Amino acid sequence: MDCKRAYQVCAADDEVDALNLRMYKQVEATIVAHPRWTRSLLHLLSVSRHLERVTDHATNIAEDVIYMVEGRIVRHKAEDYKSQS
C-alpha cells in the first residue's frame, strides 16, 4: 500500500524495456558475428524477455496499488509515473 514505491516501480518499467531492446540488438549483432553461439544467445534473449515480462507484471500490481490507495487510474499513462516518482 506504498504509493511512492508503486510510482517508482511504474517509472522503472521503461528502463527495463530499454534494457531488453538493447539486449535484443546485442544478441542480434553477436549472432551475425558468431553464428555458432546462436543457441546460447537465444537462451540469453529468452531470459531477457522473461525478466521484462516480470517487470510488466510488477507494474500492473503497482498500478493496482495506486488505484486502491489514491483512486487514480494510471494504466498506460507513463507521464503520471514520472511526475510522482
Would you kindly state where each structural domain of the chain is located, as residue ranges?
Answer: 3-84
DSSP for 15-78, written as a single string: HHHHHHHHHHHHHHHHHHH-GGGHHHHHHHHHHHHHHHHHHHHHHHHHHHHHHHHH----TT-H
Contacting residues for 85 by C-beta, under 8 A, at least 6 apart: 4, 7, 8, 10, 11
Specify the pLDDT at position 79.
63
- Average pLDDT value for residue range 41-67: 96
What would you report as the CA-atom Rg of the chain, rounded to the nearest whole angstrom? 16
Confidence category of residue 76, pLDDT binned at 50, 70, 90: confident
Confidence category of residue 84, pLDDT binned at 50, 70, 90: low
pTM of the predicted structure, to 2 decimals? 0.80
Cα 51 from chain centre: 7
Best CATH choice for the domain 3-84 from the list 1.20.58.220, 3.40.50.880, 3.20.20.140, 3.40.50.620? 1.20.58.220
